[in-house]
Structures are given as structure tokens and as C-alpha cells.
């Protein structure tokens, strides 16, 4: 006892600490239940954290397993990559910025995609529509600053949060914010519920 007890206790302590680290590594980080990116708006960190907590409660999530991520993003390259890969489920941006993304076809269209048929429930004043600029339109354009769509069809790919009380409650200052569901999302049902949550007044 006098000779071995101290060494055994130290050994057991080391094994416990290593075991905890291995367990944490195997457990991994929680999955994203929903990823919302907000472009060109300014929010306090506490406001974003509170919104994430509110949404996790709204979706009845276990934060150890799934979380909601709300990111205030300004990096255009990062947003483009995240839209393309399906990391971003919902994008909220100013009307001008949203149009740039929408013209590139990053969002579901209510006239074509069942995931956003619910957009048709909203009054016309909340419907964001735009033409689609194809790769061919870009190649055929002589002036890169004023590319025109060859197809005049407009698609309904977003909703204005102009009168959304929830958007204003979190301190959103964009005059005409638009929200849309990315067509590469892996969380279309939760993204739909988020739009409905923001528009419920």
C-alpha cells in the first residue's frame, strides 16, 4: 500500500483524463440543424446567441446533438461557396445583394420547386421575383457590368421580411431584407419553418 498506492492513483487519474478526451473526440461536434446567413447587417453577438437559442427551442433540439447557426456574413466568396455546397440553408440579404445571388440561380423557385410552394401563401408585396442570368448570357455580354437576361421569365425565389416583427426585434436594420431558401440545402423543411417563423405576423 505504501509503495504502490500513489503510483496507482496517478495512473488511474491519467487513464480517466485520457478517457474523457477520447470520449469528447468520438462524440464530435453537434450537427447543424439549420444554418442562416445574414449579409450586410449588424447585430450584437448576444443578439445572435439569443436568436440561436430561441430557434433551438423552436425546433425542440438537443444542443448536444444539433444546433442552429446564425452567421452575419460579409465575405462574398464565403457566401458563394456556402450556397454552392449547401452549407447555408437560408440567406437574408438586402434586396440588391439578394438579387445578385438570385440571378445566379442559388434559390428554390416557387413556380417550380415543391420545397417553396408555401411562398405562394404570401401577399404579392412580399414576393421577391427576378430573372435568371445564365452562363451563356454572361459569355455573350460585351459589358460585364450590365449583363442582361435573355429569358424574360421571372422566378419567385424569396420573400421580403420588410414587415417581419421578428426581424425588427433582433435589430435588423436593412430597409428591404429578403430571405430565400438555398436550393442546395439539406434542411429544406427546417428552412421552410424558419421562413414561416419570421413571417408569422
Looking at residue 40, its pLDDT comes to: 85
The model's confidence at residue 13, banded by pLDDT at 50, 70 and 90, is confident
Looking at residue 7, its pLDDT comes to: 72
Report the percentage of the chain scoring pLDDT > 90: 56
The answer on pLDDT for 25 being more than 90 is no
Please give the average per-residue pLDDT across 13-32, as a whole number. Answer: 65
CA within 13 Å, CB half, 107: 33
Please give the average per-residue pLDDT across 35-61, as a whole number. Answer: 91
Cβ partners under 8 Å of residue 28, min gap 6 = none
What strands, in cross-sheet order, belong to the sheet with 127-131? Answer: 66-73, 31-39, 90-94, 177-181, 154-160, 127-131
Looking at residue 24, its pLDDT comes to: 53
Phi, psi of 172 (to 5 degrees): -65, 130
The model's pLDDT over 87-130, given as tens digits with 9 standing for 90+, comes to 999 999 999 999 989 988 899 999 999 999 999 999 999 999 99
Looking at residue 160, its pLDDT comes to: 97
The model's confidence at residue 194, banded by pLDDT at 50, 70 and 90, is very high
Please give the average per-residue pLDDT across 188-198, as a whole number. Answer: 96
The overall average pLDDT reported for the chain is: 85
CA within 13 Å, CB half, 76: 4
Please give the residue that has the higher pLDDT: either 31 or 157.
Answer: 157
Q: What letter would DSSP give residue 117?
A: G
Q: Distance of CA 58 to CAs 33, 34, 185, Å?
A: 12, 12, 20
The answer on pLDDT for 41 being more than 90 is no
Amino acid at each position: 500500500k505504501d509503495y504502490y498506492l500513489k503510483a496507482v492513483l496517478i495512473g488511474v487519474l491519467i487513464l480517466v483524463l485520457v478517457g474523457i478526451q477520447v470520449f469528447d473526440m468520438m462524440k464530435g461536434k453537434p450537427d447543424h440543424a439549420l444554418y442562416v446567413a445574414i449579409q450586410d447587417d449588424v447585430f450584437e453577438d448576444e443578439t445572435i446567441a439569443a436568436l440561436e437559442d430561441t430557434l433551438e427551442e423552436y425546433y425542440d433540439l438537443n444542443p448536444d446533438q444539433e444546433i442552429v447557426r446564425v452567421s452575419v456574413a460579409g465575405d462574398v466568396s464565403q457566401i458563394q461557396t456556402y450556397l454552392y455546397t449547401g452549407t447555408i440553408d437560408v440567406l437574408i440579404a438586402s434586396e440588391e445583394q439578394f438579387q445578385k445571388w438570385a440571378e445566379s440561380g442559388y434559390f428554390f423557385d416557387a413556380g417550380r420547386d415543391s420545397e417553396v410552394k408555401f411562398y405562394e401563401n404570401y401577399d404579392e408585396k412580399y414576393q421577391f421575383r427576378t430573372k435568371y442570368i445564365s452562363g451563356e448570357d454572361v459569355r455573350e455580354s460585351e459589358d460585364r457590368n450590365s449583363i442582361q437576361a435573355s429569358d424574360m421569365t421571372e422566378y419567385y425565389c424569396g420573400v421580403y421580411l420588410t414587415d417581419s416583427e421578428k426581424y425588427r426585434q433582433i435589430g435588423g436594420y436593412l430597409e428591404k431584407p429578403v430571405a430565400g431558401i438555398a436550393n442546395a440545402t439539406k434542411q429544406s423543411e427546417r428552412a421552410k419553418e424558419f421562413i414561416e417563423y419570421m413571417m408569422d405576423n
